[in-house]
């Protein structure tokens, strides 16, 4: 590759990273931090923070918020970061940093986690532990698929017209085939809630905008926190407010690496 093209690509990558919004940065740092913490042998970070159906109770509800940050190894962590970053960055730019904090440490994580535990424990009778950010990836793919469908309902392959909202389903089954150790039901739980969020069925769980504005103003978050995205800086608005027909639709980013069992590595 010519040096000028290499320099251009490096500059673009550096610019993209430097422009990432605050919550997305925090998520990336947390994933890396938990991986580093897992290098020590005093505390088993994976056992402590993974989503394990039989280990769930009042004292271990924290697992519903820790499992997306914990990964089996550096490869697992890096691949999930690459898959998650563009999706999370778009979501935060649209809904704001404070909204992301409330949603991803609330209903957009706990609801698919409860759904997975219910399926795994009470339907299948298993106790497969899962960890990794790919449940978020499939959730956000579901949100993006619904938005894309509103603007561009179909894409054509040969003589077949395929609804664009089905794209994440294809990714889901492709992951199950290519990476048998990944958690199909963990991914499916995230995708179902992502579709619901994109369609506006969980908008009542979003924090009231009036309260978010009050918190932002009271704490002067926009002035104090670099890369903070305020309510007024959002691209489109609240849940259920989708781009208009003359707004370009963005293609869903690449394949996500999956949620994995506690004793298996995820990878292509």
Query: Annotated catalytic, 182?
Result: no
Question: Does residue 80 lie in a domain region?
Answer: yes
Question: Does residue 232 lie in a domain region?
Answer: no
Summarised one tens digit per residue, pLDDT across range 190-216 is 999 999 999 988 888 888 888 998 999
Candidates 76, 134, 183, 252; catalytic one = 134
Question: Does residue 185 lie in a domain region?
Answer: yes
Q: Indicate the pTM of the whole model.
A: 0.82
Summarised one tens digit per residue, pLDDT across range 94-142 is 999 999 999 999 999 999 999 999 999 999 999 999 999 999 999 999 9
Question: Does residue 264 lie in a domain region?
Answer: no
Question: Does residue 120 lie in a domain region?
Answer: yes
- Residues of the chain scoring pLDDT < 70: 1-8, 233-268
Question: Does residue 25 lie in a domain region?
Answer: yes
The structural domain count of the chain equals 1
* CATH code for the domain of 123: 1.20.1540.10
Question: Does residue 197 lie in a domain region?
Answer: yes
DSSP string, 189-251: HHHHHHHHHHHTTTGGGSPPHHHHHHHHHHHTHHHHSTT---GGG-SS-STT-PPPTTSPPPP
Candidates 71, 187, 230, 252; catalytic one = 187
> b/e string for 49-86 if b means 16 or more Cβ within 10 A?
bbbbbeebeeeeeebbbbbbbbbbeeebbebbbebbbb
Question: Does residue 235 lie in a domain region?
Answer: no
d(CA 163, CA 175): 20
Domain that holds residue 101: 13-223
Query: Annotated catalytic, 227?
Result: no
Specify the pLDDT at position 6: 62
């Amino acid at each position: 590759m010519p040096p000028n093209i290499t320099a251009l690509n490096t500059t673009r990558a550096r610019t993209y990273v430097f422009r990432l919004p605050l919550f997305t940065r925090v998520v990336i740092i947390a994933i890396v931090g938990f991986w580093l913490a897992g290098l020590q042998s005093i505390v088993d970070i994976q056992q402590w923070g993974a989503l394990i159906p039989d280990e769930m109770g009042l004292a271990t509800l924290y697992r519903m918020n820790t499992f997306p940050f914990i990964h089996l190894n550096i490869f697992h962590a890096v691949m999930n970061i690459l898959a998650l970053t563009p999706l999370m960055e778009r979501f935060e730019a649209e809904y704001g940093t404070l909204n992301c904090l409330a949603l991803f440490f609330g209903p957009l994580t706990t609801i698919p986690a409860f759904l997975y535990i219910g399926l795994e424990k009470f339907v299948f009778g298993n106790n497969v532990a899962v960890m990794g950010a790919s449940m978020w990836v499939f959730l956000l793919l579901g949100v993006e698929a619904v938005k894309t469908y509103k603007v561009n309902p179909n894409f054509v392959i040969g003589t077949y017209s395929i609804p664009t909202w089905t794209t994440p389903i294809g990714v889901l089954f492709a992951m199950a085939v290519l990476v048998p150790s990944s958690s199909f039901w963990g991914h499916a739980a995230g995708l179902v809630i992502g579709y619901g969020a994109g369609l506006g069925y969980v908008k009542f769980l979003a924090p009231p905008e009036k309260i978010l504005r009050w918190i932002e103003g009271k704490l002067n978050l926009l002035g104090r926190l670099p890369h903070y995205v305020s309510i007024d800086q959002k691209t489109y608005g609240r849940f259920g407010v989708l781009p208009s027909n003359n707004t370009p639709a963005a293609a869903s980013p690449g394949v996500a690496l999956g949620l994995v069992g506690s004793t298996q590595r995820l990878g292509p």
